[in-house]
């Protein structure tokens, strides 16, 4: 079992996985304290969550990164493997330049990445948003 942790000023993400990959990612909002508490619990128990988690530091940041048009991009990329930006633009019926801007923003936030071929990939088949009204008020 392997664990990965990435922390930046813009976002926090954690994943615990056995075969290097998850089928599902859950987008959440967590404070630094909650994030590190979860990491500590994962290390202590050694159990896999069974999904990747991408946690944002604030709901404002999450909504800026996961805007409606970017959510649509993730929807068409989920489970599709590596795609060129032109292919993504065609699937969402949008201008290539606009999609390039959104893909770049999603890459900077660590949500999608470049694959081995140089095309972009969202390495999950499913994604969920987990947000409570308490998190939204924070």
pLDDT for the residue 107: 95
Pairing state between β 126-130 and 24-29: parallel
Query: Would you give per-residue pLDDT tens digits along the chain (138 residues)?
Result: 334 444 443 444 444 433 456 789 989 898 878 877 877 887 787 776 777 888 888 889 999 999 999 999 999 999 999 999 999 999 999 999 999 999 999 999 999 999 999 999 999 999 998 877 665 455
pTM over 0.85: no
| Tokens 């909002």 sit on residue | 29
Three-state secondary structure string covering 83-137: ECHHHHHHHHCCCHHHHHHHHHHHHHCCCCEECCCCCEECCCCEEEEECCHHHHH
């Amino acid at each position: 079992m392997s664990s990965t942790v990435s922390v930046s000023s813009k976002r926090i993400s954690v994943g615990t996985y056995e075969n290097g990959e998850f089928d599902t990612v859950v987008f959440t909002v967590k404070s630094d304290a909650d994030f590190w508490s979860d990491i500590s619990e994962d290390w202590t128990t050694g159990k896999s969550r069974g999904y990747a988690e991408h946690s944002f530091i604030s709901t404002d940041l999450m909504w800026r990164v996961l805007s409606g048009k970017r959510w649509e991009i993730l929807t068409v990329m989920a489970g599709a493997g590596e795609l060129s930006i032109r292919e993504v633009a065609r699937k969402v019926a949008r201008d290539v330049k606009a999609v390039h801007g959104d893909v770049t923003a999603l890459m900077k936030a660590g949500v999608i990445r470049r694959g081995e071929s140089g095309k972009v990939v969202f390495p999950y088949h499913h994604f969920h948003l987990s947000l409570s009204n308490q998190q939204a008020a924070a």
